[in-house]
Every structure is written in structure tokens, then in C-alpha cells.
Amino acid sequence: MKKLVLSTLSLTLFLAACNGNEEETVNEPADEGVEEGVTEEDGEETAETESRVLTDGLGNDVEIPENPEAIIASYLEDYLLALDVIPAAQWSISDGEGVQFYLQDELSDVPTIPYDLPYEAVMEFEPDFIMIRDQLEQDMVDQYNLIAPTYVLNASPTDWRETMREIGTVLDHEEAAETVIDEYDTRAEETASLVEEQADGESAAAIWMIDTSLFVVHPERSSGAVLYGDAGFEIPSVVDQLSDDADWAAVSLEELAEMEVDHLFLISDDEESSLTEDRLWQNIPAVQNDAVYTFDSQSAWLYYGPIANEQVLGFIEDSIQ
């Protein structure tokens, strides 16, 4: 398991390094929806006057600084790292105790900031650019703007590709962002062909177990999009019916049994649960065929982003082999 994580991470690092190289050669002025980018030759003097202006998710025109060095993009670290950008601070909860553990190989030296971004905590890092996903009130964005230019994303939080492209555009790494997506898709094809080879036409579900509550991933979101959209597992009909507007929908053990799912990716931190003793659980095809794969809740399954998804692809491959 550890080896798998390490290999996935090193692959990610490798990809990130590739992107980094790409970046240096690219650096062309961006065009789509961007007011005249500044090329390298223009140098520092013009950079200040000719900075790019983009319209953000709140409809504000945000002046994007040239080559921001200290970026705060809380809960968007995955995308930043994919572009080889290290943020000035990283998302955290519970006074810095809870972080995105699956990214810690790259973020371990990055200080934490509370998830709700108190103004003074943001000021402490003296950011020169702030990127925010949540639709905040204009009042609050105005306050952040006093600290540094603040950009609220347009992209839907449930669409990582759209998010990746937008962040690429904002940070003037458009082509690098495309490369991240292309390389991910290539990587996903490998997984898909492995799934076709090993488990053609079989169904799968990712189930998050908290004590005795079960949640199933939305088929088009988070690791659900990877499982079905990218790796090509069949979607059990129950999963399709359950999904409404949540990334993870509550599901009963009865409904889970009804799925007759062939592969079960179980996200759970408990070694044992009374649920697994249940007859209904025992009758799930995946349980009978020894195709239940357990992951802890800090792993990439619950997240969004190219790095998270890449790790999930690795988990899938390792599980079905």
C-alpha cells in the first residue's frame, strides 16, 4: 500500500516536473478572454502597466499580477501543485491539525491557514495573489482585495478539468494546464484498458463508511468521475438513482446490497465495523469474490483535482491487478 502511494506520488512528481519544463518554453501571451498578456521580452517595467485583467466568478474585473510569488489558493492546492506552483499557505482545519494528507509529500513545508481564511491569517502570509473557490459575499472579497488581488473562480467545483483550465489561464500557465489534463487522460486510458482486461463489464462503487453510516460517491464527481468516467467501471443502477446534489450520498446497507456490485472501494478508518458482520454485507458479490479494497479517509478518494485523481487511478490499478 505504502509502496503504491509512493509510486503514485513519484509519478505525479515526475509529471509535475514535466509540466515545469514545459512552462519555461511556453510563456506565450495568452489570448482567450485575456487582455493582452505580457511577454518575457517586455521586462519588468511594462509588466506593471500591462497586467492582465480577467472577469471572475463574482463578475469583478480582477487585475492578475505578473508572476505572483506568494499565492493563497486554499483547497485548490492540488491544481497549483499540478502546475508546479507551491502556494504560500495550505488549507487546514482544526487549528492546522487537519490538512490534505494526500498532498503532504509536496506541501509538508508549507504553513497552514484556517479553512475560513480569517483576514489576519491571510495578511500574515503577505500574499500577492488570492484565489478563492467559494462564492463569498462581495463585502468579504472587497476586504481580501485590500490585501492582494482576489480572484473568485468561475469554474464549477465539481468539474476538475474546467477548474484546471481556469486556474491555468489565471496563472498564465494555460498550456501547462492542458498538458496536465492530456497526460492525465493518457494515464486514465492505461487504467481503462487494464480495467477492460481484468474486469470487463463489471461494476464498482466507492463507499465511504463513517461508523455505521454509508455514503456512495456521485458517478460524475470526485473519485466517482474517475471510477466510472475514466477507468470505465459500470455504474450500478442504485448509484445512478441515489445521486442528487451531493458528492457523497447517504446509502443504506440494503441499497448497497441491492447494487450487486463486483468491486467495492471502501473508504474507512475503522479496522472493523459491525456492518461487515451483517448478512446483507456478506452477500455482496464484491465481498464474496474478495474484491473489497480498503483505503483510509485521508487518501485521495474524497478529493478533487488532477493529483487526487491520478492517485485514485493508481489505487484502482493496484486493486484489480
What is the contact surface with another protein in residues (CB under 8 A)?
Answer: 58-59, 95, 113-114, 116, 118-121, 123-124, 126, 134-135, 137-140, 142-143, 146-147, 245
Of the candidates 311, 319, 318, 309, the one whose C-alpha atom is nearest the C-alpha of residue 286 is 319
Nearest approach, Cβ of 246 to another protein (angstroms)?
8
Cβ burial of 200 (10 Å; 0-12, 13-18, 19+) is: exposed
- CB closer to another protein out of 14 and 119: 119
Pairing verdict, β 213-217 and 204-210? antiparallel
What is the rounded distance in angstroms from the CA atom of residue 26 to the CA atom of residue 174? 9
Residue corresponding to grid cell 468521475: 225
Nearest approach, Cβ of 60 to another protein (angstroms)?
9
Nearest approach, Cβ of 215 to another protein (angstroms)?
14
Of the candidates 160, 305, 284, 289, the one whose C-alpha atom is nearest the C-alpha of residue 216 is 284
- CB closer to another protein out of 142 and 197: 142
Whether 249 and 218 have beta carbons less than 8 Å apart is answered as yes
* Residue 156, C-alpha cell as written in the block: 464549477
Q: Specify the 3-state DSSP secondary structure of 37.
A: coil
- CB closer to another protein out of 86 and 121: 121
Nearest approach, Cβ of 14 to another protein (angstroms)?
35
Nearest approach, Cβ of 75 to another protein (angstroms)?
12
- CB closer to another protein out of 40 and 142: 142
Whether 206 and 214 have beta carbons less than 8 Å apart is answered as no
- CB closer to another protein out of 121 and 194: 121
* Residue 91, C-alpha cell as written in the block: 488549507
- CB closer to another protein out of 158 and 273: 158
- CB closer to another protein out of 95 and 200: 95
DSSP assignment of 240-264 equals HHH-SS-SEEEE-HHHHHHH--SEE
Nearest approach, Cβ of 242 to another protein (angstroms)?
17
What are the φ and ψ backbone dihedral angles of 151, each rounded to 5 degrees?
A: -115, 120
Contacts of 97 (CB under 8 A, 6+ apart): none
Nearest approach, Cβ of 116 to another protein (angstroms)?
8
